[in-house]
Amino acid sequence: MAARFGFRFGVIAAAAAIGSVGAWPASAQDGFPFGLEMTLDAPPQPGSKRVPSLDIGESGETRLELWCKGGKGQFSVAGNTVIFAAGPLEDRSCPPEKAKADDDLVAALSAAGTWERQGDEISFDGPTRLRFHLNTN
């Protein structure tokens, strides 16, 4: 009887383990890119090689390097819903057109309500869709 109970317990435990495999979180390739850096899918502005990038920490803390300005922010994510709260930006004596482009980009990122990931492409959707590519090098 003890052997039969042990066998049944083993079968039940194995079935539970197999069933729980689907309960594991989505792989890092499908999830929000915490701990990764990404670059805006846009050409550099005239006279510059710089393209805005986001360096997102494991807890959503973010370092922004924009067309000219830089600063910090925070991402909060639940499913495909995203909230970005920008902190103060460093002015860095930016020309007016680059300062405006930076402000517009931060405003668009802050207005995004959802995000999605397809491979190395991350999109933030709001009034303006922003596409970023993960830096894989």
pLDDT at residue number 91: 85
Q: For 5-9, 55-59, 101-105, which range has the lowest pLDDT when averaged over its residues? A: 5-9
pLDDT in tens, 53-99: 999 999 999 999 999 999 999 999 999 999 999 999 998 999 999 99
Pair 38, 54: CB distance under 8 Å: yes
**Domains along the sequence of the chain with CATH:** 28-134 (2.40.128.270)
Q: How far is Cα 52 from Cα 1, in angstroms, rounded to an integer? A: 68
pLDDT at residue number 1: 52
pLDDT at residue number 20: 36
Q: Give the pLDDT mean for 119-125.
A: 97
pLDDT at residue number 90: 94
pLDDT at residue number 48: 86
- The CA R_g of the chain, rounded to the nearest whole Å, is 22
pTM, entire model:
0.77
62 Cβ contact partners less than 8 Å away, ≥ 6 residues apart: 54, 55, 56, 72, 73, 74, 75, 84
pLDDT at residue number 137: 73
pLDDT in tens, 10-57: 433 333 333 333 333 344 457 999 999 999 999 998 888 999 999 999
Q: How far is Cα 28 from Cα 30, in angstroms, rounded to an integer? A: 5
Q: How far is Cα 34 from Cα 61, in angstroms, rounded to an integer? A: 9
